[in-house]
């Protein structure tokens, strides 16, 4: 298969530090206010650092706020760190880093108790202990919930209250970070847009906690802001990214044409709901012994294949097989479905898969350090190696909380030790491009999302991936030539970058493993591919891909 024509990405979006840009100073700059950014900011601030936290969305619009199923942590009498690590590694299909998995899982219980101390209330069983639930891939009950399926919102609220009250933390919501500032090979801050103005923050250390990129796909569970900005920022700044070919698709998002794709939590299948096609056939019985609770990639592909076989746009989730009242068991899902006149106790829910979680991201250590000095990455934007080629359900809230708490003090210490001579100012201006193409950004965005869904989604093959990279190269070229530098254009440029990274990594990995399925290479090939793919920006702006060991030899610095 010939290599696709390569997009070239600039190292900035016309960004530089203009002489007149107002400059704030802080010890630690945190970009993102979900579970990872919130935990990191509080941990750095509690360590004595001054912290500026920037978030482009309201805190109610983070991925964290939408998390339903819960947070995995070892609490049950029949559970252990060994068991949780073993489940994580099994679902990671040979690419999870065992040391990282152990380091994170070991601290899960402490992180959950810390969130409880911040005021998050988790559901309890009749005996007063935490109520524990199960999702696909877990061998015991270990998922902790809040208010049924409102776990993320409860955690987010607790973090948000603390963040806004903390004397060391300045929170600025509605601020879009456009680029990182790099000086002499070190990340020293960020440049952001707020109320139409451009501002900059100079920091001793920067923590990226910008979440995932589900919005690059037409079908997704992710809220509107999940554009992969942080991955694109880090790529332009020269950091190494990893595992981008692994995008987890959730099998069950509500499918109603024209409506946003709300998640129907796996907990519903965990409680006994069954997947059926239009004729009522329970097709998972032919696919996997665990049926509806098989790993997500298997269930998602089985649904897609059933849709193709029956010519339908969706399948159905049938809750009539569940013990108990579904309205009481799943109040959030009941409310969402009721708004579309679906009574979950009686009516099967129309569902189909949607892009859900980015396993890959900015490569980071168990302290959150990236390959770029001064830059840390935590939460969904990062790739610690915990998830391997697939993520165990409810392990991402766990990772976000644990990693945020570890990276905060590490960044605070880095800031204490950092001394740099101040940022040089420039009189450069963004040149106006003659004959720039007239772009309809919405149209380009829709084309990108559709193409990613069709060619870089659940089933991939070499030609489709190469074509996708070629299309992205063309669109990036048009967008780069356009003089516009508004937030929507920046987000689209970031989405093009992230899409190119995913398609390039997916093209390179000539096998099928975990969430990555190549119909032209349907088998898993450990002899060639028990390796992680590392990507970074080459000097000419193209994407350089290198295969590296599962366990990195040392700290990425
Ligand atoms: P987020 O919570 O997404 O926060 C990202 C932050 O970065 C936001 O504040 C955003 O505004 C900000 N940001 C982004 N770009 C910029 C920019 N350019 N400038 C400034 N700010 C920026 N995981 C589980 O473990 N259990 C679950 O039950 C679960 N359920 C889920 C249900 C749904 C519907 C979804 C979408 C995800 C679910 N997940 C679940 C995954 C989990 O919610 C996320 O992986 C996790 O919350 C990510 O946290 P984060 O802090 O990394 O990012
Ligand atoms: C779900 O509730 O099904 C999502 C859980 C997760 O993504 O971890």
**Confidence band of 432 (pLDDT split at 50, 70, 90):** low
pLDDT at 434 over 70: no
Given a cut of 60, whether residue 431 has pLDDT beyond it is no
Count of Cβ atoms closer than 10 Å to residue 237 Cβ: 23
Binned at pLDDT 50, 70 and 90, residue 7 comes out as confident
- Which of 35, 41, 64, 398 has the most ligand 1 atoms within 8 A of CB, as the residue to mutate? 64
Tell me: pLDDT of 418 over 70: yes
166-184 pLDDT, tens digit each: 999 999 999 999 999 998 8
Q: Mean pLDDT across the stretch 527-544?
A: 96
Q: Are 352 and 314 in contact (CB under 8 A)?
A: yes
Cα(304) to ligand 1 centroid in Å equals 26
- CA 108 to chain CA centroid, nearest Å: 19
- Number of helices followed by number of strands (H, E) in the chain: 16, 19
Give the phi and the psi of residue 533 in degrees, each rounded to 5.
-95, 125
The bound ligand whose nearest atom lies closest to the alpha carbon of 174 is 1
Residue 32 CA: nearest ligand 1 atom is 7
- The pLDDT of residue 134: 86
SS3 19: coil
Instruction: Give yes or no for residue 190 having a pLDDT over 70.
Output: yes
Q: Return the ligand number nearest the Cα of 266.
A: 2
Tell me the three state secondary structure of residue 553.
Answer: coil
Going from the Cα of 387 to the center of ligand 1, the distance in angstroms, rounded, reads 16
116 flagged as catalytic: no
In the 3-class helix/strand/coil scheme, how is 232-278 assigned residue by residue? HHHHHHCCCEECCCCEEEEEEEECCCCCCCCECCHHHHHCCCEEECC
Instruction: Give me ligand 2 centre to Cα 393, in Å.
Output: 5
How far does residue 211's CA lie from ligand 1's centre (Å)?
5
For residues 192 and 17, the model is more confident at: 192
Q: What average pLDDT does the segment 129-143 reach?
A: 90
Mean pLDDT along residues 305-317: 95
Q: Which residues line ligand 1 (CB under 6 A)?
A: 31-37, 54-57, 62-64, 66-71, 151-152, 175-177, 209-212, 221-222, 225, 229-230, 263, 357, 379-381, 394-397, 400
Numbered ranges of CATH 3.90.700.10 in the chain: 251-353
Q: How far is the CA of 251 from the centre of ligand 2 (A)?
A: 10
Mean pLDDT of 511-517: 97
User: Which of 42, 156, 210 to mutate for ligand 1's pocket (most ligand atoms within 8 Å of CB)?
Assistant: 210
CB-based contacts of 78, cutoff 8 Å, min separation 6 = 140
Q: How much is the average pLDDT of 91-103? A: 97
Q: Which residues of 440-461 are buried (b: 16+ CB within 10 A; e: fewer)?
A: ebeebbeebbebbbebbbbbbb
**Mean pLDDT score of the chain:** 92
pLDDT tens by residue, 241-264:
999 999 999 999 999 877 778 899
Question: Boundaries of CATH 3.50.50.60 in the chain?
Answer: 22-246+357-416
Q: Which of 98, 63, 34 is nearest to 387 (CA)?
A: 98
Is the pLDDT assigned to residue 56 strictly greater than 90? Answer: yes
Superfamily (CATH) of domain 22-246+357-416:
FAD/NAD(P)-binding domain (3.50.50.60)
Residue of 276, 296, 405, 513 marked active site: 296
Which ligand places an atom closest to the C-alpha of 146? 1
Nearest ligand for residue 71 CA? 1
Fold of 251-353: Flavocytochrome C3; Chain A, domain 1 (3.90.700)
What average pLDDT does range 311-333 have in this prediction? 93
Helix, strand, or coil here: 208?
Answer: strand
Query: What is the pTM assigned to this prediction?
Result: 0.96
Substitution candidate for ligand 1 out of 13, 29, 30, 32 with most atoms within 8 A of CB: 32
CB atoms within 10 A of CB 535: 26
Q: Is 288 exposed, middle or buried (0-12, 13-18, 19+ CB in 10 A)?
A: middle
Q: Who's near 414: CB < 8 A, 6+ residues apart?
A: 204, 205, 374, 376
What is residue 334's predicted lDDT score, i.e. its pLDDT?
94
Among the listed ranges 23-32, 127-136, 455-464, 533-542, which one has the minimum average pLDDT value?
127-136
Q: What band does 397 get if pLDDT is binned at 50, 70 and 90?
A: very high
Query: Which residue stretches of 126-249 are H helix?
Result: 151-165, 229-237
Backbone angles phi, psi at 177, to 5 degrees: -80, 120
């Amino acid at each position: 298969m010939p290599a696709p024509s390569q997009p070239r990405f600039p190292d900035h979006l016309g960004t530089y530090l203009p002489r007149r840009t107002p400059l704030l100073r802080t010890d630690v700059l945190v970009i993102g206010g979900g579970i990872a950014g919130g935990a990191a900011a509080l941990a750095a601030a509690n360590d004595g650092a001054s912290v500026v936290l920037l978030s482009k969305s309201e805190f109610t619009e983070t991925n964290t706020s939408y998390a339903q199923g819960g947070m995995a942590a070892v609490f049950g009498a029949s559970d252990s760190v060994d068991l949780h690590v073993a489940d994580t590694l099994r679902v990671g299909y040979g690419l999870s880093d065992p040391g990282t998995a152990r380091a994170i899982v070991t601290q899960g219980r402490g992180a959950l108790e810390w969130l409880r101390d911040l005021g998050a209330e988790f559901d309890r069983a009749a005996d007063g202990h935490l109520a524990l639930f199960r999702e696909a891939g877990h061998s015991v009950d270990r998922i902790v919930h809040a208010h049924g399926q409102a776990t993320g919102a409860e955690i987010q609220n607790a973090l948000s209250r603390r963040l806004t009250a903390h004397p060391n933390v300045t929170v600025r919501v509605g601020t879009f970070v456009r680029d990182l500032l790099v000086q002499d090979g070190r990340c020293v801050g960020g440049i952001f847009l707020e109320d139409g103005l451009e501002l900059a923050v100079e920091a001793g250390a920067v923590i990226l906690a910008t979440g995932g990129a589900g919005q690059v796909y037409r079908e997704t569970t992710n809220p509107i802001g999940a554009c992969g900005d942080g991955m694109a920022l880090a790529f332009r700044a020269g950091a190494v990214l990893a595992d981008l070919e692994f995008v987890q698709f959730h099998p069950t998002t509500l499918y109603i044409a024209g409506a946003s794709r709300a998640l129907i939590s796996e907990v519903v299948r965990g409680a006994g709901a069954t997947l059926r096609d239009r004729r009522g056939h329970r097709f998972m019985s032919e696919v996997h012994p665990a049926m509806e609770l098989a790993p997500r990639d298997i269930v998602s592909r089985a649904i897609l294949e059933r849709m193709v076989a029956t010519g339908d746009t969706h399948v159905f989730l049938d809750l009539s097989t569940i013990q108990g009242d579904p309205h009481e068991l799943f109040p959030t899902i009941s409310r969402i479905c009721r708004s579309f006149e679906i009574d979950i106790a009686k009516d099967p829910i129309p569902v189909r898969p949607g892009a859900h979680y980015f396993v890959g991201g900015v490569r980071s250590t168990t302290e959150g350090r990236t390959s770029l000095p001064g830059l840390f990455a935590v939460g969904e934007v990062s790739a610690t190696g915990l998830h391997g080629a697939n993520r165990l359900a409810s392990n991402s809230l766990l990772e976000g909380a644990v990693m945020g708490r570890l990276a905060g003090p590490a960044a605070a210490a880095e800031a204490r030790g950092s001394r740099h001579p101040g940022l040089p100012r420039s009189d450069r201006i963004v040149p106006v491009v003659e004959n720039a193409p007239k772009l309809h950004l919405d149209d380009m965005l829709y084309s990108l999302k559709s193409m990613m869904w069709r060619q870089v989604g659940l089933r991939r093959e070499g030609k489709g991936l190469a074509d996708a990279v070629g299309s992205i190269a063309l669109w990036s070229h048009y967008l780069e030539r356009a003089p516009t530098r508004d937030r929507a254009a920046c987000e689209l440029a970031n989405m093009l970058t992230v899409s190119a990274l995913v398609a390039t990594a997916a093209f390179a990995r000539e096998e099928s493993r975990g969430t990555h399925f190549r119909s032209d290479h349907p088998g898993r090939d450990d002899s060639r591919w028990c390796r992680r793919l590392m990507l970074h920006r080459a000097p000419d702006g193209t994407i350089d891909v290198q295969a590296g060991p599962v366990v990195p030899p040392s700290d990425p610095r």
